[in-house]
Amino acid sequence: MSLTVNSDELWHAARVARDGALEIHADAADCRSLRERCAQIIEHLTPNKQEYDLYLGSARDYDGLMRSAIRLGRARVETRGFGWRKSRLFNSRRYLVAFVDDAWAQEVAPDCDAFVSPGVERSGTFLVTVPPLVMIPESRKRLRNRAFRSVIEHEIVHVNQAIRGVYPLGPGPGVQGLLDEYQGRVRMEYQANLLQLAHWPDHYPQDSDLSLEHWCVLRGHTDGLERCLGLPERWRTAPGDVLTFVESLPQHLVVVFAKLGIDDFAEWFVARLGSYVRAAAGLVARWRPELAAIGPFREFLKALHSDATPDPAAIARRLRRAGVR
Ligand SMILES: [Zn+2]
Average pLDDT for 3-14: 39
Beta-strand (E) ranges in 9-107?
14-16, 22-24, 79-86, 94-100
**What is the CA(191)–ligand 1 centre distance, in A?**
9
Query: Beta strand pairing status for 133-137 and 94-100?
Result: parallel
Asked whether residue 306 falls in the same domain as residue 325, the answer is yes
Give the count of domains, the chain.
Answer: 2
% of the chain with per-residue pLDDT over 70: 88
**What is the CA(173)–ligand 1 centre distance, in A?**
24
43 assigned to some structural domain = no
**What is the CA(158)–ligand 1 centre distance, in A?**
7
Asked whether residue 178 falls in the same domain as residue 62, the answer is no
**What is the CA(112)–ligand 1 centre distance, in A?**
9
By CB atoms closer than 10 A (0-12, 13-18, 19+), residue 14 is buried
Average pLDDT for 232-256: 97
The three-state secondary structure class of 143 is coil
Average pLDDT for 151-158: 97
Asked whether residue 128 falls in the same domain as residue 250, the answer is no
281 assigned to some structural domain = yes
Rg (CA), the chain: 21
Angle at 152 between CA 148 and CA 158, to 5 degrees: 145
Q: pLDDT at position 201, please?
A: 86
**What is the CA(177)–ligand 1 centre distance, in A?**
20
Beta-strand (E) ranges in 101-201?
115-117, 120-123, 126-129, 133-137
**What is the CA(160)–ligand 1 centre distance, in A?**
12
Query: Which residue, 163, 193, 223, sits at the end of a domain?
Result: 163
d(CA 151, CA 115): 9
**Residue 129 main-chain phi, psi, to 5 deg:** -90, 125
Asked whether residue 227 falls in the same domain as residue 137, the answer is no
Determine the structural domain holding residue 69 and report its residue range: 48-163
271 assigned to some structural domain = yes
Residue 160 has pLDDT above 90, yes or no: yes
Q: pLDDT at position 7, please?
A: 40
Average pLDDT for 45-68: 94
Q: What residue type is assigned to position 62 of the chain? A: Y
**What is the CA(190)–ligand 1 centre distance, in A?**
8
**What is the CA(77)–ligand 1 centre distance, in A?**
25
Kindly report whether the global pTM for this prediction surpasses the value 0.85.
yes
Average pLDDT for 25-46: 82
**What is the CA(193)–ligand 1 centre distance, in A?**
7
Asked whether residue 69 falls in the same domain as residue 184, the answer is no
**What is the CA(147)–ligand 1 centre distance, in A?**
14
Asked whether residue 307 falls in the same domain as residue 178, the answer is yes
Q: How many of the other CB atoms lie within 10 Å of CB of 31?
A: 19
Residue 266 Cα to chain centre, angstroms: 19
